[in-house]
Amino acid sequence: MSRRVVVVGHGMVGARFVEEVRRRDPKGARIRLTVLGAEPRPAYNRVLLSTVLAGGLSAPAVELHPAGWAARLRVDLRTGVTATAIDRERRIVRTDAGSDVSYDELVLATGSRAWLPPIDGMADPNVVTFRDLADCERIIDLARPGARFAVLGGGLLGCEAARGLVARGVDVTLVHPKPHLMERQLDGGAGEVLAGTLRRLGVDVLLGRTAVAWEAGAGLRCTGSAVPGGELVAADALVVAAGVRAETGLAADAGIAVDRGVLVDDRLGTSDVRVHAIGDCAQHSGAAAGLVQPGWEQAGVLADLLTTEDPGARYRGTPPVTRLKARDVDLATVGEPGALDGPGAEVLRFADPVGGRYASLALRGDRVVGGAMIGLPDAAASMIQFYDTGMPAPADRLGLLLGRALPGAPETADPGHLPASAVVCRCNTVTKGALVTAWRAGATDVPALSRATRAGTGCGSCGDTVRGICAWLAESDPPVISPVREEGAA
Ligand SMILES: Cc1cc2nc3c(=O)[nH]c(=O)nc-3n(C[C@H](O)[C@H](O)[C@H](O)COP(=O)(O)OP(=O)(O)OC[C@H]3O[C@@H](n4cnc5c(N)ncnc54)[C@H](O)[C@@H]3O)c2cc1C
């Protein structure tokens, strides 16, 4: 008898969980799937919204699946339906569509929501968050050439939004309350270099400003020690990118343990054995999510467990690696915030603010545990490789800092020199070795490699590397082509 699994949330991780279940149980013999998605459309690649905002992709191009996908996979997909309550005793999910859905196992993949600061004016129609495709479409609609935008929040999303809006010919002021940008990932020096790079690209960056009100028709009112009487940032529209909060309300209301996210163990189980949580809404080992790679890894582990394909599967955490997706800004960071100023860390730094370059690395016992690179793609690739593999750092620290310690690194190197363990596609955790295996199994062009391994289907930043590996394999390991038989030959 198949078990009924209900998934709440049809975002990047809920959709991936469905794929992972059907990879293991293609006919639905073990699992019947019902998916409830609050958004009115089927799942799309949220990570690529910054590229949509910058004009690099259209909305249909970021859809995750072709029409008819759910029906083909025997999935009861209900879009535009919000789960409103969980009755854990009767194992029922209530919805705003008036229908109750019963479950044997419930998977929460409710993601996160944009946080709005508690200041006046946030209900104005020209104030938009940056979380979903509807937000993105609204921003594009407001971003007519010559329009003036304020972007509130100089984290990863705020920087991407500001860069994207400038590319649309809009006047942009990026307002950030802290003394430097992206303070969760960057130290002061790196933040300064990033601000300089954004300024050169046309973004007006204001630091140390706290927003106190949005004044419709005028702009964003701010205070800060640099502006004793306060100041008005003149703007027609405001994009709020001031942080996200895990969507935990449904779980908390049902009495399931939550902290910053829904608390889960290595089996992605919550405090109720029948309820699981994955993706941005889940909190594993104290680490709040917010990146797609952990969520996609969790989706695979939970699919292993619920289909009983691998009852020993466990999720042990994902080392954080972030990249800014903004044209002409090459920025990557590894490690937990604070790795660079933790006690006992050996810290290496190089700064070239005029050239828009910055490198910092934190080592502990010869292992790279944190770092940030701006404008140094080779060094960024090498940093990520040392961080991922835990390889001991060489004695030549300068070579390490500047990315000369490895014969090759994924983004830049001759693919032949890359070790098989090098992670090429970060979002999907695909190594060079996995690409080579897929090639040898018959996936002998880029689309086929992507279908076989999923490389390149997340943020897309590994595209050049996958193409490079494909070209290298075509030379070093050419596909065996069956000899064409002559018509009528014996
Ligand atoms: C602009 C932007 C750029 C990003 N860039 C990157 C990046 O470069 N790299 C990276 O790793 N990550 C990036 N992220 C973060 C990444 O998108 C998230 O980590 C990822 O989407 C998490 O997937 P999820 O399925 O957990 O949540 P989501 O994708 O947010 O999906 C959750 C879904 O659940 C639905 N839902 C919520 N509550 C209910 C309910 N009660 N009933 C029914 N449905 C419900 C929501 O409507 C939503 O559709 C970016 C995010 C944004 C917004």
Cβ–ligand 1 distance for 261 under 6 Å, the answer: no
Centre of ligand 1 to C-alpha 29, Å, is 29
> Is beta strand 282-284 parallel, antiparallel or unpaired with respect to 262-264?
parallel
Whose structure tokens read 């014996």? Answer: 490
Centre of ligand 1 to C-alpha 291, Å, is 9
Residue 357's nearest CA partner among 316, 294, 403 is 403
Mean pLDDT, all residues of the chain:
91
Atom of ligand 1 nearest to the CA of 13: 25
pLDDT at 482 over 70: no
Cβ–ligand 1 distance for 131 under 6 Å, the answer: yes
| Interatomic CA distance for residues 98 and 110, integer angstroms | 19
What pLDDT, in 10s, does the model give residues 79-93? 999 999 999 999 999
Centre of ligand 1 to C-alpha 114, Å, is 10
Q: How far is CA 246 from CA 117, 196, 397, 424, in A?
A: 16, 32, 39, 28
CB 420 within 8 Å of CB 433: yes
145 — pLDDT class (breaks 50, 70, 90): confident
pLDDT at 488 over 70: no
pLDDT at 153 over 70: yes
Mean pLDDT across the stretch 176-199? 94
Which segment of 314-323, 329-338, 349-358 scores lowest on mean pLDDT?
Answer: 329-338
Centre of ligand 1 to C-alpha 175, Å, is 24
pLDDT at 178 over 70: yes
| Interatomic CA distance for residues 44 and 50, integer angstroms | 13
Residue 489: the pLDDT is 38
Mean pLDDT across the stretch 270-299? 93
Residue 420: the pLDDT is 85
CB 149 within 8 Å of CB 318: no
Centre of ligand 1 to C-alpha 111, Å, is 5
Best residue for ligand 1 mutational test, from 86, 103, 110 (most atoms within 8 Å of Cβ): 110
Cβ–ligand 1 distance for 111 under 6 Å, the answer: yes
pLDDT at 377 over 90: no
Cβ–ligand 1 distance for 36 under 6 Å, the answer: yes
What pLDDT, in 10s, does the model give residues 220-240? 999 998 888 899 999 999 999
Centre of ligand 1 to C-alpha 112, Å, is 6
Q: Show the CA angle centred on residue 356, arms to residues 355 and 357, nearest 5°.
A: 90
Mean pLDDT across the stretch 171-182? 97
> Is beta strand 100-102 parallel, antiparallel or unpaired with respect to 127-129?
unpaired
Mean pLDDT across the stretch 166-176? 96
Q: Which tokens go with 23?
A: 């990879």
pLDDT at 407 over 90: no
- Cβ neighbours of residue 54 closer than 8 Å, sequence gap 6 or more: 160, 163, 164, 167, 168, 326, 327
Dihedral, 233, 239, 242, 246 alpha carbons, nearest 10: 160
Centre of ligand 1 to C-alpha 83, Å, is 16
Which residue owns the Cα nearest ligand 1 atom 30?
A: 111
Residue 480: the pLDDT is 67
pLDDT at 408 over 80: no
Centre of ligand 1 to C-alpha 47, Å, is 8
Of the ranges 191-195, 462-466, 478-482, which is most confident?
Answer: 191-195
460: left (phi over 0), alpha (psi -120 to 50) or beta: left
Q: Show the CA angle centred on residue 299, arms to residues 298 and 304, nearest 5°.
A: 95
Cβ–ligand 1 distance for 49 under 6 Å, the answer: yes
Concatenate the DSSP letters of all residues of 152-183 into one string.
Answer: E--SHHHHHHHHHHHHTT-EEEEE-SSSSTTT
Which residue owns the Cα nearest ligand 1 atom 5?
A: 47
Residue 385: the pLDDT is 87
Centre of ligand 1 to C-alpha 300, Å, is 17
Residue 229: the pLDDT is 87
**Backbone phi and psi for residue 223, each to the nearest 5 degrees, phi listed first:** -125, 170
Cβ–ligand 1 distance for 16 under 6 Å, the answer: no
Residue 463: the pLDDT is 86
pLDDT at 411 over 70: no
Residue 172's nearest CA partner among 211, 145, 138 is 145
Cβ–ligand 1 distance for 292 under 6 Å, the answer: yes
481 — pLDDT class (breaks 50, 70, 90): low
- Cβ neighbours of residue 177 closer than 8 Å, sequence gap 6 or more: 208, 209, 210, 211, 224
Mean pLDDT across the stretch 411-431? 79
Domains of the chain: 3-112+245-306 (3.50.50.60), 127-240 (3.50.50.60), 330-406 (3.30.390.30), 409-490 (1.10.10.1100)
483 — pLDDT class (breaks 50, 70, 90): very low
- Cβ neighbours of residue 354 closer than 8 Å, sequence gap 6 or more: none
Q: Which tokens go with 230?
A: 């306060």
Atom of ligand 1 nearest to the CA of 323: 8
